[in-house]
Structure 1
Amino acid sequence: METAKLGNRLLFVASVVLTGAVAGAFVWLLLFVMNAGITFLWNVLPAHFGPLFPLLACIVGGLVIGLYAKKFGPYPEDLNEVMAKVKKEGRYDYDKLGVMSVAALLPLFFGGSIGPEAGLTGAIAGICTWVGDRMKRFGADFKQLTSVGTMAALSAIFTAPLFGFAAPLVDEGGKDGDTITLPKSSKIVVYLCAIAGALGAFMLLGKLFGGGMSLPHFSAITVGTLELAWLLPLALVGAAGGWLYCVFDGLLAKASGKIGDRPVVKAVIAGAVLALCGIVLPFTMFAGEVQTEELGEVWTTMSALVLIATGLVKVFLTPLCIRFGWRGGHFFPVIFAGISIGYGMAMLTGADPVFCLCACTAALVGGVMRQPLMTVLLLFLCFPLKGVVVMLIAAAIGSAIPLPKAFRKTGHPTGKNETPEKIEGSETA
């Protein structure tokens, strides 16, 4: 009996590592396909269509996205919806994995100002549920593979193990949504095994074949008297960006609801607005990870006004895309928005650029997520450990700025972006 129990435990741990590896490999695969599609669409075709290519591409993209949503429904689901289902039901339906994957890729191909995390997490949760259903005869523990795989996927997507570990553990009943309830030590080991498998597979495939998705890491930061004097103003500027994101999100959700069940119309409108903004401010398009690296090379040649305007327009375009059918995540875009604003403020103040990026980005992301601790765990993917105090203070300021009552968010480990009542029109197949 004991031998059989030990065997099941070993099999479970092996399955957890394998589940993490599958999650990491699937994340890598979809990002590889995404990068290939973007390269073809935006590096090869523009030479044949001239400077107005973004307008053509985004309008056509809106038409394709809208028609796809009209036929198959509003996929992928928001990251928060996926995590809520996994937490409540312990599983996620996998009968439309192909539909979800294509729906996740389409807005990214056409330059949408969104991140890939929503579609990737839903697909991973579905795959892990499928595996768990087929292995549950070995014990009840195998039902946990869905939550384990979701955690591993988040770690791989953001290359941020602490964020992937903590996000599913946040106690939503806490006052500020930042209370992390640790599981038993045995489960911690299981989660860490899954994360190790995911990051190992993700990084190995990236090393062998390229691809992946990650923001540049800023390693050097100076914290002097000048920087400390500017900390509060920088945090307030970033917090204003986070406040605007939440307000734009609420207003655009209402506008989407007014238009109603017209997925094609909404997606084309979003595509046209996205393209026009992209023609004037090119860095406002796409998820933001590649654009962050490019911006780091050229920001000194740009004016502070253009840098700040780029961040603020990004703050508008991301909820526009999400609410008008270009469905995806908001993490990468809002991080890019904070970085762009931070560069602009560095130019205006003369303070250390990385310090400005830390303060502005943490305040902006904190204003969107409303959870300082989770904000800092996420931002470790691009900012140094030395900036942790700066990020904590700025994120706390950003999350403390009160929102208009109609646009207040509910606490969620990943920052839930929904107003209290359901205001967005439903889209059916």
Structure 2
Amino acid sequence: MSSTSSAGELADAVPGPRQLLVLAIPAILVGVLTALVLWLLDEVSSLLEDLLWTTMPAGMGFDPDAPWWIMIVLTATGTAVGLVTWLVPGHAGPDSATTDLLEPPLKPWVVPGLALAAVLGLAGGVSLGPENPIIAINATIVAALFARLLPGIPGQLAVWLAAAGTIGALFDTPVAAALVFTSALTGTPVRGHLWDRLFLPLASAGAGAITMYLLGAPPLSFEMPAYPGPTAFDLLGGGLIAVGSVVVGLAALAVFPWVHRAFHALRHPVLIPLAGGIVLGLLGVLGGPITMFKGLEQTGELLANTGTYTAGALLVIALVKLVALVVAASSGFRGGRIFPAVFIGTALGMLGNVLLPTVPIALAVACGVLGVVLVVGRDGWIAIFVAVAIVGDIGVLPMLCVIVLPAWLLVTKAPEFRVEAAEPYPYLAANR
């Protein structure tokens, strides 16, 4: 989730207090701008989602959850994303399977195609989140604005401010951005105090989070029974749930490059997401609508019905969503992997609570989310933060800080949850 080389560039010149105060103004404006772009992308995708999954079925008198409609929409979504990737200038940017959250800015003409591909995937029910595309879009916009209006500010700082503002807006708090950038700065030369380097990204992230709150964005946390307090069995049971979730995530990681290679063997930029859309449609029919989309609203739906799912149902939901995540990330759709990972972790945590009912539901869910996000994000602090944020209970934090240790031992030597960048569409390379 981090970029050490980028962090090194930022660390080369740490502003002094007076510069920080002056630069805080553009940093705050960047946070507001990135939140507005994220909100606009969310609104457009929500309007299209309502059209596809509510207005059209209601107008024609059929059930939007009908298997044939799920197949039609996801197949059409794959075709549409393929056409954007093939025909729109910039080819919708780099394959999301090859990117992290922090990446260099794109060429400005790539942004429309990337935004269109992301909107289509979010609205059509593809199991990816908005994080990678929207950070790339905002970083490109802000870098271009700074190059024209504020040429004295380093381009890398512009990218970091855009990424920080977007992360703050995505997760409703600047804390997430602070954790991402603290990890990104690990291993870079120490030039000045860490908080000097975090000052401007935090200003942007705070502005982004506040702007999203004022725009009425739903909170990341959900209503859950309060954690009653730690016990020795909670430590053991929670550890088992977290480790089990890590193992499930590592299984997906192991097959990810193979699945990606299989889809891209189709070579043509339309055929790859088309095939992915067909497979996602079949998975949607198997797992139901709850296993579709980016997963945030569906996570709330799961948690609103704790105690009503059997162990078998939760296992099916988690595995179908896990396969859907791997397929969506492998078949040319544009999107991030964190939000679907949260849903998978929630389902696994609820499964752990069914199998180990003495582990309180808040801790069980937090441990499930911790395990899967740890594999997908490769960052212990981010995994702990997201786990605490989802259950909305700071009481689980001491337990998670211990439980993360054995889970991390399983992850530390594993590769990152992405594939090596290569020519994504040989057809395009051969016909340029």
TM-score > 0.5 by shorter chain: yes
1:217 Cα deviation after fit:
5.7
Deviates more, 1:17-26 or 1:186-195: 186-195
Alpha-carbon distance in 2 for matches of 1:145, 1:264 = 34
Q: Map of 1:1-400 to 2, 5 A cutoff?
A: 11-47=22-58, 48=60, 49-50=62-63, 51=66, 52-72=68-88, 74-77=91-94, 78=96, 81=99, 83-86=101-104, 91-137=105-151, 139-140=152-153, 144-171=157-184, 185-206=195-216, 211=217, 214-216=220-222, 218=224, 220-222=226-228, 223-259=230-266, 261-282=267-288, 283-350=290-357, 351-383=359-391, 384-400=393-409
Distance 1:56 1:124 in 2: 32
Tell me the residue number matched to 2:8.
Answer: none
Measure, in 2, the Cα distance between the counterparts of 1:76 and 1:398: 34
SS of the residue 1:328 aligns to: coil
Q: How many residues align?
A: 403
CA contact (8 A) 2:172 2:209 kept: yes
Question: Shift in Å at residue 215 of structure 1?
Answer: 4.8
Per-residue CA distance 1:200-248 (angstroms, 9 max, x = gap) = 2111112xxxx55735264722333442341232122211221122123
Q: CA deviation at 1:319?
A: 1.8
Write the distance in 1 (CA, Å) between the matches of 2:17 and 2:322.
Answer: 52
CA distance in 1, matches of 2:426, 2:404: 33
Q: Is the 8 A contact 1:101 1:119 kept in 2?
A: yes
Q: Which moved more, 1:71-80 or 1:382-391?
A: 71-80
- Residues 370 and 400, structure 1, Cα contact 8 Å, conserved in 2: no
Unmatched runs of 5 consecutive residues or more in structure 2 = 1-15
Amino acid aligned to 1:119: P
Q: What RMSD, in angstroms, separates the aligned Cα atoms of the two structures?
A: 3.1
What is the CA distance between 1:398 and its match in structure 2?
3.3
Q: 1:266 to 1:399 in 2, by over 3 A?
A: farther
Distance in 2, Cα, partners of 1:203 & 1:315: 30
Query: Is the Cα contact below 8 Å between 1:221 and 1:355 reproduced in 2?
Result: yes
Match of 1:413 in 2: none
Q: 1:121 corresponds to which letter in structure 2?
A: I
Specify the alignment match of 2:418 in structure 1. Answer: 417
The question of whether the paired residues in 1 share the 8 Å contact of 2:93 and 2:114 is answered with yes
Distance 1:184 1:236, change over 3 A: closer
| 8 A contact 2:252–2:326 mirrored in 1 | yes
Verify the 8 A CA contact 1:133 1:143 in the aligned structure 2.
no
TM-score normalized with structure 2 length: 0.83
- CA offsets, 1:305-335, max 9 Å, x none? 1112211221111121111012210100011
Task: Tell me how far 1:82 sits from its aligned partner.
Answer: 6.3
Change over 3 Å in CA distance of 1:254–1:217 after alignment to 2: farther
For 1:180 and 1:63, the matched residues in 2 are separated by: 48
Q: Quote how far apart the aligned CAs of 1:182 are.
A: 8.1
Shift of 1:122: 1.0
Deviations 1:320-352 (A, max 9, x none): 111101221010001100101111221222121
Aligned mates of 2:211, 2:226 — CA distance in 1: 29
> Could you say if the C-alpha distance between residues 249 and 392 of structure 1 is closer, same or farther in structure 2, counting changes exceeding 3 Å?
farther
Q: Distance in 2 between matches of 1:364 and 1:113?
A: 15
Q: What TM-score comes out, normalization by structure 1 length?
A: 0.84
CA offsets per residue over residues 106-163 of structure 1, 9 Å max, x none?
11111000001111101110111122112334x3357622211211111111224222
Task: Tell me which amino acid in the other structure corresponds to 2:353.
Answer: A
Matched residue SS, 2:107:
coil
Q: Which amino acid aligns with 2:158?
A: L
Report the CA distance shift for 1:423/1:128 in structure 2 as closer, same or farther (over 3 A): closer
Residues 1:85 and 1:402: Cα distance change in structure 2 (over 3 Å): closer
Distance 1:385 1:427, change over 3 A: farther
Query: For residue 65 of structure 1, what is the amino acid of its counterpart?
Result: V
Cα distance in 2 between the residues matched to 1:167 and 1:79: 19
CA distance in 2, matches of 1:276, 1:332: 21
Quick check: 147-156 or 371-380, which moved more? 371-380
Q: 1:132·1:144 contact (CA, 8 Å) conserved in 2?
A: no
Find the residue that maps to 1:214 and give its secondary structure.
coil
Distance 1:393 1:74, change over 3 A: farther
Counterpart code for 1:275: G
Contact kept, 8 Å, 2:81 with 2:121, in 1: the verdict is yes
Equivalents in 1 of 2:270, 2:70: separation in Å? 18
Q: 1:271 to 1:393 in 2, by over 3 A?
A: farther
TM-aligned CA distance change 1:217 to 1:159, over 3 Å? farther
Confirm or deny: 8 A CA contact 1:112 1:285 kept in the other structure.
yes
> Secondary structure, in 3 states, of the residue corresponding to 2:52?
helix
Mapped contact 1:75–1:99 kept (Cα < 8 A): yes
Kindly indicate whether the alpha-carbon contact (under 8 Å) linking 1:94 and 1:130 is maintained by their aligned counterparts in 2: yes
**TM-superposed deviation, 1:254:** 2.2
Q: In structure 1, list runs of 5 or more residues that go unmatched.
A: 411-415
